[in-house]
């Protein structure tokens, strides 16, 4: 049979009351990416040419989130059931002739391979009218049941509330994910009634309608973990744990060493090279790329940063968006870097803030150095040349340039450019008063002995 285009109808109109949140349920993140977008990635990978979101409450949040992806939005003003929700996509798909996959915005782990299998089953030679995705969970809970033979031919589908005890004993459950040709979908949806325990229009009823017409409906089984639905904060945490466990296993399989895997947290787009070593308690936010042979020491947070081959980061380091560490550069304990480039071999090993800065190759940034990049209104650049040496406890007041091979003496506050090869020392004159400390201590001790409590407090403070 000729290939047919694929459209996705994503149902996301539920209230999500169990989340107890002002944020729409499907926008809560897993690994830093809204769960809805995890599903979108799978649909794109499966070749879904059209995508329609059916939304209800907080529709503006969903619209804003998916707008850059060029998808369509349909509105379900009243939540009258899944069949009613799917029918709201009809106008958006006017003129589309192909296969529609109906799925749910709160099932982020649906795989593109599974979507393709469902589509292929619908296109098989026996030409079923409807294909449904089923699964066998450890706890069948209140899922709808699928009564099918060993070949996957469905005899009946029933919602839990309407099922008999014998039907509830069946382990094969309905995920709700359904594939139907659009030429069949709309007529079937329009025939669905609501004569059931809840008075809703159930999507699975299209299977029973197809069977009543003398057509066939089939089930395709997949793993239960792929069909996890998220309706509460606890289930969101469970989903995060599942995603992270999979990503950790992938990282190690691809050649990274995770010293304590359960303490490392990846983002959805973290890229990791070979022979990377990640020590305990490291958190990656979105937008991080680690090249080969990188070492990330314990207790680091890395977001929006690119780390080149052979770099060492941490412990206790924050790399924030716009950070670029070039080959062999190093940042150490209690260093924060934001919107800054560290040249090859550059070092900032202790207690440093580098913001809006360019640090040249092999430059050394001493402990306690701060780039003063913000005046309360605007950000300014600090440029440090190759092989420059910045002494400890220095403040570089941007905009400022430190030349190649220049030295900034420890304790300096530099507000003017430093030329190549220049030594800059900016310190207040030191006052030396011999014996003054001894006389002060003697006077304070005498007052304390005499009971002058105010003087005692002053002395202790001193």
Cα–Cα–Cα angle for 217, 222, 224, rounded to 5 degrees: 120
Pairing of β 99-104 and β 173-181: antiparallel
441 phi/psi in degrees, rounded to 5: -60, -40
350 assigned to active site: yes
Q: Chain-centre distance of CA 415, in angstroms?
A: 40
Choose, from 28, 75, 350, 441, the residue flagged as catalytic. 350
Query: Cβ distance 50 to 41 under 8 Å?
Result: no
| Residues with a known catalytic role | 350
């Amino acid at each position: 049979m000729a290939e047919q285009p694929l459209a996705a109808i994503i149902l996301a109109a539920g209230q999500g009351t169990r989340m107890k949140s002002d944020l729409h349920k499907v926008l809560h993140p897993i690994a830093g990416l809204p769960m809805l977008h995890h599903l979108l990635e799978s649909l794109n990978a499966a070749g879904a040419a059209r995508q329609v979101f059916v939304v209800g409450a907080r529709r503006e949040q969903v619209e804003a989130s998916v707008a850059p992806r060029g998808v369509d939005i349909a509105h379900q003003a009243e939540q009258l059931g899944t069949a009613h929700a799917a029918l709201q996509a009809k106008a958006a798909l006017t003129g589309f002739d192909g296969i529609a996959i109906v799925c749910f915005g709160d099932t982020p782990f649906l795989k593109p391979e599974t979507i393709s299998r469902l589509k292929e089953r619908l296109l098989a030679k026996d030409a079923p009218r409807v294909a449904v995705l089923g699964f066998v969970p450890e706890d069948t809970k209140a899922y709808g049941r699928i009564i099918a033979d060993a070949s996957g031919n469905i005899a009946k589908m029933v919602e839990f509330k309407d099922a008999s005890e014998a039907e509830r004993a069946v382990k094969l459950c309905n995920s709700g994910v359904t594939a139907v040709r659009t030429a069949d979908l709309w007529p079937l949806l329009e025939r669905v009634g609501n004569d059931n325990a809840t008075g809703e229009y159930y999507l699975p009823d299209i299977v029973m309608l197809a069977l009543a017409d003398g057509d066939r409906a089939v089930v395709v089984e997949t793993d239960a973990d792929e069909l996890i639905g998220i309706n509460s904060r606890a289930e969101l945490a469970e989903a995060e744990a599942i995603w992270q466990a999979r990503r950790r296993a992938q990282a190690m399989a691809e050649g990274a060493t995770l010293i304590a895997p359960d303490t490392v947290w990846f983002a959805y787009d973290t890229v990791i090279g070979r022979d990377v070593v990640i020590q305990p308690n490291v958190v990656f936010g979105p937008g991080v790329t680690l090249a080969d042979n990188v070492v990330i020491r314990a207790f680091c947070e890395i977001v929006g940063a690119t780390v080149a081959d052979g770099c060492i980061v941490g412990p206790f380091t924050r790399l924030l968006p716009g950070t670029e560490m070039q080959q062999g550069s190093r940042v150490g304990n209690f260093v924060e870097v934001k919107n800054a480039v560290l040249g090859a071999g550059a070092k900032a090993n202790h207690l440093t803030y580098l913001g809006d800065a360019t640090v040249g190759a092999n430059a050394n940034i001493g402990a306690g150095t701060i780039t003063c990049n913000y005046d309360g209104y605007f950000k300014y650049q600090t440029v440090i040349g190759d092989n420059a040496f910045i002494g400890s406890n220095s403040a570089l007041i941007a905009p400022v340039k430190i030349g190649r091979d220049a030295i900034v003496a420890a304790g300096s506050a530099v507000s003017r450019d430093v030329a190549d090869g220049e030594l800059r020392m900016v310190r207040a004159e030191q006052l030396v008063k011999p014996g003054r400390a001894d006389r002060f201590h003697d006077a304070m001790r005498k007052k304390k002995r005499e009971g002058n409590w105010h003087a005692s407090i002053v002395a202790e403070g001193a």
